[in-house]
Amino acid sequence: MKKLGVLRYSILILFLIRSLNSLYAQIEPKPIINASLVGTVIDASSKEPIEGVTVQLEAVTHSVKTDGNGRFQFVTGQKLPFTLIVSFVGYEKKKIVINTSPTVIELSPTTEDLDEVVVVGYGTQKRRDLTGSVASLNESLLKQNVSSLDQTLKGGISGVQVTQTSGQPGGGVSIRIRGGASIQGGNEPLYVIDGFPIYNQTESTGVGSGTPVNPMSSINPSDVESIEVLKDAAATAIYGSRGANGVILVTTKKGKAGRVQLSYDGSIGQQQVLKKIDVLTAPDFAILRNEALYDAYPNLGKFQYLTQDKIDQLGSGTNWQKEAFQNGQITNHQLSLSGGAEQVQYFIGANYFDQDGVIKNTDFKRLGFRSNINANPFKRLNVGANFSINRTTSQIAPSGIVNALLIMPPTATIYDADGSYTLRNPFENIFANPIATLKETTNTSNALRILGTSFAQYDIIEGLQAKVLLGVDLNNRTDKFYLPSYIYEGAGNNGKANLGNLDSYSWLNENTLNYTTSFQDHHLNALVGFTQQEAKNETFNAGAENFVTDDLLYNSLQSGSTLVRPNSDAYSWILHSYLARVNYNYANKYYLSASIRRDGSSRFGADNKWGNFPSLAFSWRASNESFFKETFSAINDLKIRASFGTTGNQEIGQYQSLSTLYNLNYLFGNKIVTGFASQRIPNKNLGWETTYQYDGGFDIALFNSKLQFTLDYYYKKTTDLLLNVEIPWTSGYASSLQNFGSVSNKGFEFGLKTRNLNGKFVWNTDVNFSFNRNQVLTIGTGAQSYISGNYIIKVGEPLGTFYGTQIDGILQKGEESTKGLFTGNAIPKAGDRLYKDIDGDGKFTTANDRGIIGNAQPDFIFGLTNTLSYRGFDLTFLIQGTVGNELLNINRQNLEMFTGQQNASTDALDRWTETNASQSYPRAKLDPAPIFSDQFVENGSFVRLKSFQFGYTIPKHVLNATRISNLNVYLSGQNLLTWSKYKGFDPEVTSGSNVQIGTDSGIYPASRSLTVGLSLTF
């Protein structure tokens, strides 16, 4: 019985176990079917793999990215067929059903730019949502082999005029966005690099000679991902007191989640001066000098300088330009590592750039490092840091060296018979030996710049983000200068040494709240914030003279027996700001944007330190209206924009509203003591230069965005100009800086993008035209004009207006008694230049017979960029130009003196002589009175092949056996061809002055360069 009981219980237990197993089988999920999908994503045109494409399964969050060979792999519980969503920036988003594995997916480049995200002030927006005038630089132009990022803007964006102020390696440019307005303040735009605002201004140490290095050249252009230019007030008012001259937003490269990439880009090339100026050879110069001496001293005969026999033995003489100019080498190396995962992305890069100048003993070197990191350590927290450190070294051409090379007589020699340098030429006017000056002068500038920003952004609730940004810009520059005793400039001091140091820092703190929400057809974005920035500069310089030896250069100032009085200075400024902006759109049809910024600056008077800068913009996307789509099927986008706003300009220097002091030496009791005196009269009401700007325009896209056209009309009026106004002498001062005067700029901007071909052969074109008209409206109570050198600032005329005399031929024999009064000479003589009698008083005088003889403002500027590619080959070239502007050629003025004391241009061969009754060029004359005339104001229009790059990308299948994922070889050039009537070195030149723009006064000439390079990625 017991056995039967055990059996019964055993059967019951087995039954319970089986029942539980059956129940568990019903509750437990069915096993996952681990299906696998392998595929490759390629470009539909080139058939090349695309890296970084997001491939996502529909209805689930699971997604992967393609690797360097365009491959991806899914392991999923779903069964075939799969529905995939494939997307990548620059390509059309694709939804596709996949039935087999492996598979190949083709993506077509998008012709729709409206979904592109662009950087704007304190945030980003989709291009379709912009209400202001914001332009992006073509990505291909960022690849130019230039020393500074601001040079990449030449010809690339409508309304932006970029002009070289020096062709020296690392040299600067002058940028005007929609024209310049300030007369005594700054006219350059504000740069914002990874969120840090910078005004690109060179600070002097008081040491050295020549054009300073461009501070923007300390930023490696290869690190730049994108450049946006904010032009109208709707876009710039958020920068308030620093937005009047436009804003350039620079974003550096960031890492992307996915495969780690190691990239290298290296190039090497040469550059040469664009052209040389034709001047007289030694025999022609000797004849000219003989004529000038004979004209002054006829009793001494016609061969007072050299006899004809000696002239015949001269040869061509010294070619000073040939001795100074060289073919300079350019080397550039860029190494970067980037990658990351979902939570952390990084970009690390190093750069070495080395450029020799086209003038001997000039160069520029940059060694830099960059680290950009972005991370999402927690679900709601995003942090990042952008850091760069760059060391630059430059040997600078001494001031006046180009002019000296041109006017140095070809009969003078570089070296004496004993091999030492010829100190000076043997004529009345003493010129230094420019080759000795160039080769032996030590004139270096070494700079270290650390620029960084870091931020933390936290999602407080859905749609509400708080962001804190901290940044710092540290600059240290040391200028070193030495003139040895064995050249002319240093001989009188027995050697001269100077050292100067500039130490500056600027820190930034920004605190913003950003709220984004949507409900039904309403879309709202609101931003509020508080920012503060402080900067401080300290300078110091010292020097010595009379050295026992030249060997120590500037490294032993204490060795000089004569010490130069040291100098030091310090100055700082602070800016506090409150800002707010609201962007609203209804149904993606009607857009409204409003912003306001309130700035408080330490630079202005006690009663005028705060300013308000509002803006309002509206746009209507007509193409989203139902009636529009039915009626205009060829137009896929049409947006009409209008904006108004106020911006300011605080770039006037420091302490201008205060009665600052300067030191003076006095003699008391036979002792020299130092005292102080007031430097300027205080002005507690000194305030901003304020710019009011109206903008109206439209953006239209046709034929599936294959043709995109933008048109803008703008009007800018800048009031309360900062001018030194004359005040009664009884005040003890000659002038006072006050808010007087106004200037306007108005014009049209055209931008056209065409996607001409989009198959195996891809061809895209970007064209821009800009027309700007500048006009002085007022310059103070009752004043109508005032003269500044060879320029006039006059109500009704543009800035940059030339003011001088007008030539009227050459006085011929027998005309002395009738036309002699129009030469300006007390005793007129045949061969003198004639000038027009402007005031009609029957004679010519320089003071009374001057008038407007041209202006440096162009009628229009343009740029044309073409990008082509076919089966791995790619070609990009930019043609730019300026039309209608005039240039003051000071070099030509010097070369047409015909004094015989300095060299002259080959135009002197057509000068007036007894046997050549020239109507173009005057006679040789030993001591002419220089008169500025329209003879030296030339047409500055030009068309230039600005940049060119041709490359070939090795096919992927060729690289499969290597670890290289991409390999491109290329040939690139800068300034390859120029069409211009200008007689100077280069028509793309300016002094950088607000008033005296368009002056070419011995500026370091531009160069033509050609480089070869390769880019490869592992």
Between the alpha carbon of residue 389 and those of residues 172, 218, 386, 444, the distances in Å are: 20, 9, 11, 20
Q: Which two tokens stand for residue 352?
A: 């070495």
Share the mean pLDDT of the chain: 88
Q: Are strands 886-889 and 999-1000 parallel, antiparallel or unpaired?
A: parallel
* Nearest C-alpha neighbor of 834 from the set 842, 824, 846, 849: 824
> In the predicted model, what is the mean pLDDT of residues 942-960?
90
Q: Could you report the per-residue pLDDT of 260-283, keeping only the tens digit for each?
A: 889 999 999 999 999 999 999 999
Helices (H) and strands (E) in the chain, counts: 12, 51
Q: Could you report the per-residue pLDDT of 954-1009, keeping only the tens digit for each?
A: 888 788 778 888 889 999 999 999 999 999 999 999 887 888 889 998 899 999 99
DSSP 911: B
Between the alpha carbon of residue 813 and those of residues 223, 539, 593, 901, 918, the distances in Å are: 67, 61, 73, 26, 11
Q: Are 723 and 687 in contact (CB under 8 A)?
A: no
Q: Which two tokens stand for residue 341?
A: 């995962």
> In the predicted model, what is the mean pLDDT of residues 821-832?
91
Residues in contact with 299: Cβ distance below 8 Å, sequence separation at least 6, in sequence order: none
Q: Are 731 and 681 in contact (CB under 8 A)?
A: yes
Backbone angles phi, psi at 2, to 5 degrees: -65, -40
Q: Could you report the per-residue pLDDT of 771-804, keeping only the tens digit for each?
A: 999 999 998 777 888 888 899 999 999 999 999 9
* Nearest C-alpha neighbor of 52 from the set 965, 764, 870, 959: 965
**pLDDT at 4 (0 to 100):** 41
Task: Return d(Cα 495, Cα 544) in angstroms, integer.
Answer: 8
**pLDDT at 20 (0 to 100):** 39
Residue 334 has a CB neighbour count (10 Å cut-off) of 21
Determine the 3-state secondary structure of 535 from DSSP: strand
Dihedral angle of Cα 335, 340, 345, 346, to the nearest 10 degrees: -20
Does residue 32 carry a pLDDT above 90? no
**pLDDT at 550 (0 to 100):** 92
Q: Could you report the per-residue pLDDT of 339-387, keeping only the tens digit for each?
A: 888 789 999 999 999 999 999 999 999 999 999 999 998 889 999 999 9
Least confident of 207-216, 364-373, 447-456, 666-675: 666-675
Q: Are 699 and 642 in contact (CB under 8 A)?
A: no
Q: Are strands 464-483 and 590-601 parallel, antiparallel or unpaired?
A: unpaired
Between the alpha carbon of residue 751 and those of residues 136, 250, 869, the distances in Å are: 11, 21, 22
Determine the 3-state secondary structure of 735 from DSSP: strand
Q: Which residue has the higher pLDDT, 6 or 487?
A: 487
Per DSSP, what are the bridge partners of residue 442?
482
How are strands ordered across the β-sheet holding 35-43? 71-76, 35-43, 103-107
Backbone angles phi, psi at 395, to 5 degrees: -100, 120
Q: Which two tokens stand for residue 998?
A: 């368009």
Q: Could you report the per-residue pLDDT of 386-435, keeping only the tens digit for each?
A: 999 999 999 999 998 999 999 999 999 999 888 888 887 666 555 689 99
How buried is residue 505: exposed, middle or buried, by Cβ count under 10 Å (0-12/13-18/19+)? middle
Q: Are 765 and 866 in contact (CB under 8 A)?
A: yes
Q: Could you report the per-residue pLDDT of 171-181, keeping only the tens digit for each?
A: 888 999 999 98
**pLDDT at 927 (0 to 100):** 83
Q: What is the pTM of this model?
A: 0.88
Task: Return d(Cα 369, Cα 347) in angstroms, integer.
Answer: 11
DSSP 888: E
> In the predicted model, what is the mean pLDDT of residues 116-124?
84
**pLDDT at 278 (0 to 100):** 96
Residues in contact with 227: Cβ distance below 8 Å, sequence separation at least 6, in sequence order: 136, 137, 142, 149, 152, 153, 248, 249, 250, 251
Q: Could you report the per-residue pLDDT of 37-67, keeping only the tens digit for each?
A: 888 888 776 667 787 788 887 766 667 888 8
Q: What percent of the chain has pLDDT over 90?
A: 63
* Nearest C-alpha neighbor of 138 from the set 113, 110, 174, 170: 113
DSSP 341: -
Length of the chain: 1018
Dihedral angle of Cα 16, 20, 22, 28, to the nearest 10 degrees: -170
Q: Which two tokens stand for residue 937?
A: 């104001």
Q: Are 396 and 209 in contact (CB under 8 A)?
A: yes
Q: Which two tokens stand for residue 889?
A: 């050629």
Does residue 11 carry a pLDDT above 80? no
**pLDDT at 45 (0 to 100):** 62
Q: Could you report the per-residue pLDDT of 150-161, keeping only the tens digit for each?
A: 999 999 999 999
- The string of DSSP codes covering 918-944 is -SSB----SS-----BGGGEEE--EEE
Task: Return d(Cα 602, Cα 609) in angstroms, integer.
Answer: 7
Kindly indicate the confidence band of residue 10, based on its pLDDT and cuts at 50, 70 and 90.
very low
Task: Return d(Cα 128, Cα 708) in angstroms, integer.
Answer: 13
**pLDDT at 15 (0 to 100):** 47
